[in-house]
Structure 1
Amino acid sequence: MRLVFMGNSIEEWGTAIAVAIAAAVLMYVARYLLVHRLSAIAARTETRVDDWFLRLLKSTYTVFILIFALYLGSLMLEFPRKYEIWLWRVAVSAMLIQAAIWADTAVRTWRGRYRQAAMGTESVASAASTAIIDFLLRLVVWVVFLLMVLDNLGFNITTLVASLGIGGIAVALAVQNILGDLLASLSIVLDKPFVVGDFIIVGEFLGTVEYIGLKTTRLRGLGGDQVIFANGDILKARILNQTRMFTRRAAFFLRVHYSTDPAKLEEIPGMVKDIILAHEDTASFERAHLRELGEWSLNYEVIYWIKNPDYFVFMDTQQSILLAVLRGLKERGIEVAFPARMVIRNPFDCQDDSPVLNSPAL
């Protein structure tokens, strides 16, 4: 007597189970060998491709191997059409979920590699900002694969997608400012006009970037106060990033008295040049010229560069140069001019023969 179960004989069921077991063992062993082999290769090389494939293989779950193996075994059997359709849908859904896990693993691997590459560099703080991109990419991955799974299971996702689209437009209009700040945060992360730790000037505000979030960017001001900007607003402003300076330009005017001898006036540019070049480790001379004949002084313009962008080095160097210039002028008997005005008393108001007074300008 031939035993039949669900339209298939015991021998056919035995064949199907044997095929399923063989497929499961074969895929499991193949995964194990590939992981072992790629681990050895990844340990010897510095490329990232083998590391990525290794992470993907490790994220291949045994349960999905079993589901796919059972589907292969079911091909050895004859089932009604509706059962075959559902077996196919379950197998494809399992493969889609596994593919979503692979994509999610790839995104997380990218984020981990980015953080590791940034460690020890000046952009290490910006690695935290990749959490924004990581979150959005993983969200897109799971939403797309979820819709594919629902479509594979026979659900009509056209209406769902249309509803999501209409609802998305309504939500976007309601929270357009928040979405604008969110997109601005992505722009900050991708374009990197500044990163956490940079000292920036935004309009009349200046401070060190302390945090870059989905909606706001926060600075720590010089006075210790925290300045909070919406990401959209900060990108609309002109941003001066002081941290990315390589040199600092310094300039000052030197005003000398009109009574100075022309021969001494010719010595001033050379004197200033020698003083600046004496700081060859921190400063480089550009020019020094008698620029104009002012209303009450002879005006020299001096321009030089500070090689070190550090602000304290800049101030120390500038102070040293200005003091040396004052000493050089004093040694040569050259007077620094200052604005003055003459006040003449009304002779009818004077009760004595007091002289005309000269007083410095206030």
Structure 2
Amino acid sequence: MRLVFMGNSIEEWGTALAVAIAAAVLLYVVKYLLVHRLAQVAERTETRVDDWFLRLLRATYTVFILVLALYLGSLMLEFPRKYEVWLWRVAVSAMLVQGAIWADTAVRTWRGRYRQAAMGGESVASAASTAIIDFLLRLVVWVVFVLMILDNLGFNITTLVASLGIGGIAVALAVQNILGDLLASLSIVLDKPFVVGDFIIVDDKLGTVEYIGLKTTRLRGLGGDQVIFANGDILKARIANQTRMFTRRAAFLLRLHTASDPEQVAALPGMIRQIVEEHEETASFERAHLRELGEWSLNIEVIYWIKNPDYFVFMDTQQSILLAVLRGLKERGIAIASPARMLVRDPFDCNEAAPPLHSPASIRREGT
């Protein structure tokens, strides 16, 4: 007597089971060999492609292999049309879930690689900002794959997608400021006008970037206070990133007394040039010129460049050069000018101890 179950004989069920077991073993062995081989290659090479494929293969779950093997075994059997459709849908859904896991693994691998590269590069803390992109990419991956799975299972997702679209518009209008800051944070992460650890100047506020979040960016001011900007506002402002300076431009104005000897004044640019060029921290001397004959001084403008952009190095170098200039002026007997003003005693002051109105003692010069 021939035994039949769901329209298929025991022999056919045995054949299907054998095919399923063989497919499962074959797929698992192929996965194991590929993982073992790629692991060896990844150890010898510095490229990232083999590392990515290795992570993806390791993220291939045994459950997916079993589902795929059972579906291949079911092809050996004859089922009613509706059963075949559901078997196909289950197999495709399993493949979509595995595809979502692969995509999620790829995103997490990218973030890990980026963080590792940042820790060996210029900015360690900047890797934390990639959490924003990581979160959004993984969210998009799972939303897309869930919609594909629902569509594969026979659900009508058109209404769902339309509802999500309408709801998304309503939410966007309600929280447009928050969304604007969120998009601004993505712009900061991708375009990188600054990263965590940079010293920046935003309008009249300055400080070190301490945190870049989804909505706000926080600076640590020079006084120790924390200055918080909305991401949208900080991108609208003019940002001066002091950390990305390669050299620093230094300039000062030397005001000499109007009675200074023109020949000595003419020799001063050469003296200043020699002082600047002999200093070890200066990159180059740009110029030194008698810029103008002022009302109370002769103004010499000096401009040069410092190798190190660090502010303390700049101040130390500027101080050293200015002191050397002062010594040179003293050796040559050239005086530095200072503005003067006349103070005249009130003519109606009846104080007898005061000097006469037009006495030289009643007129004095004051330096400001």
TM-score, normalised via structure 1 length: 0.97
Q: Any conservation in 1 of the 2:276–2:282 contact (CA below 8 Å)?
A: no
What is the distance in 1 between the residues matched to 2:159 and 2:125? 43
Query: Does residue 272 of structure 2 align to residue 272 of structure 1?
Result: yes
Amino acid corresponding to residue 365 of structure 2 in structure 1: S
Aligned residues between the structures: 362
Aligned to 1:191: 191
What is the distance in 1 between the residues matched to 2:124 and 2:340? 55
What is the distance in 2 between the residues matched to 1:346 and 1:190? 69
Amino acid corresponding to residue 354 of structure 1 in structure 2: S
1:107-146 pair list within 5 angstroms: 107-146=107-146
Return the offset for 1:353.
5.6
Aligned to 1:31: 31
1:3-152 pair list within 5 angstroms: 3-152=3-152
Query: Does residue 325 of structure 2 align to residue 325 of structure 1?
Result: yes
What is the distance in 1 between the residues matched to 2:335 and 2:36? 83
Q: Any conservation in 2 of the 1:340–1:358 contact (CA below 8 Å)?
A: no
Return the offset for 1:327.
1.1
1:203-242 pair list within 5 angstroms: 203-242=203-242
Q: Secondary structure in 2 aligned to 1:358?
A: coil
Query: Does residue 359 of structure 2 align to residue 354 of structure 1?
Result: yes
Return the offset for 1:344.
5.1
What is the distance in 1 between the residues matched to 2:245 and 2:125? 18
Return the offset for 1:360.
2.2
- Which deviates more, 337-346 or 318-327? 337-346
What is the distance in 1 between the residues matched to 2:84 and 2:230? 55
1:240-319 pair list within 5 angstroms: 240-319=240-319
Return the offset for 1:238.
0.7
What is the distance in 2 between the residues matched to 1:351 and 1:148? 102
What residue ranges of structure 2 are gaps of 5+ in the alignment? 350-354
Return the offset for 1:351.
4.9
Q: Classify 1:26/1:351 alpha carbon distance in 2 versus 1 (closer, same or farther; 3 Å).
A: closer
What is the distance in 2 between the residues matched to 1:6 and 1:292? 105
Amino acid corresponding to residue 70 of structure 2 in structure 1: L
- Which deviates more, 117-126 or 137-146? 117-126
Return the offset for 1:283.
4.5
Deviations 1:240-260 (A, max 9, x none): 111111111111111111111
Q: Secondary structure in 2 aligned to 1:186?
A: helix
1:147-186 pair list within 5 angstroms: 147-186=147-186
Return the offset for 1:115.
1.0
What is the distance in 1 between the residues matched to 2:348 and 2:181? 72
Q: Classify 1:79/1:220 alpha carbon distance in 2 versus 1 (closer, same or farther; 3 Å).
A: same
Root-mean-square deviation (CA, aligned residues, Å) is: 1.5
Q: Secondary structure in 2 aligned to 1:269?
A: helix
What is the distance in 2 between the residues matched to 1:264 and 1:78? 110
Q: Classify 1:2/1:47 alpha carbon distance in 2 versus 1 (closer, same or farther; 3 Å).
A: same
Q: Classify 1:41/1:353 alpha carbon distance in 2 versus 1 (closer, same or farther; 3 Å).
A: closer
What is the distance in 2 between the residues matched to 1:284 and 1:2? 100
Q: Percent identity?
A: 84
Amino acid corresponding to residue 189 of structure 2 in structure 1: V
Q: Secondary structure in 1 aligned to 2:253?
A: strand
